[in-house]
Amino acid sequence: MLIVHRSSCCDVCLDPYSWQDESTLKEPYAIPCGHIFCKECLERTATSTCPLCRKRFSRDSIKKLHMDAPPANDDSEIVQKLILAWDDELEVVNVLEEVEQWLQRTELRSIAAQKSSSRLSEIQTKKGG
């Protein structure tokens, strides 16, 4: 599954992708090599080669990515942070604190949520010692 984060931007012009704009020039488009750029930058390339990997593509193979605007409050970022922080003990502790705050904020103090939080702490304890 392809996930484009709400803060993603075109790797050529570095402008963020537009989600609710009338113009399609800043919406994300994919080319066959899998890289994603805004339409404006793809149209500006002099040759039909990917600006990142230099693989050739035909203009008719450019595909517009149809997606909804990302939610304003995307709690999946916490999971991403945990994955990225996995090798840094201090960062894992910080993310675990953020998970605890998220649980309190969303009032998900169900048994499953408590078990998940406990399991994360157990994993951290085993990893650290």
Claim to verify: residue 56 and residue 107 sit in the same structural domain: no
Claim to verify: residue 44 and residue 87 sit in the same structural domain: no
Distance CA 129, CA 96 (A): 17
Claim to verify: residue 65 and residue 92 sit in the same structural domain: no
Claim to verify: residue 45 and residue 101 sit in the same structural domain: no
Lowest mean pLDDT among 54-58, 70-74, 102-106: 70-74
- Which structural domain, as residue segments, surrounds residue 92? 77-128
Above 90 in pLDDT, residue 49? yes
Claim to verify: residue 6 and residue 66 sit in the same structural domain: yes
Which phi and psi angles does 63 have, rounded to 5°?
Answer: -120, 130
pTM value is 0.51
User: Listing from the earlier edge strand, what are the strands of the sheet with 36-38?
Assistant: 36-38, 28-30, 63-64
pLDDT digits (tens, 9 = 90+) for 61-85: 999 887 665 555 555 676 677 677 7
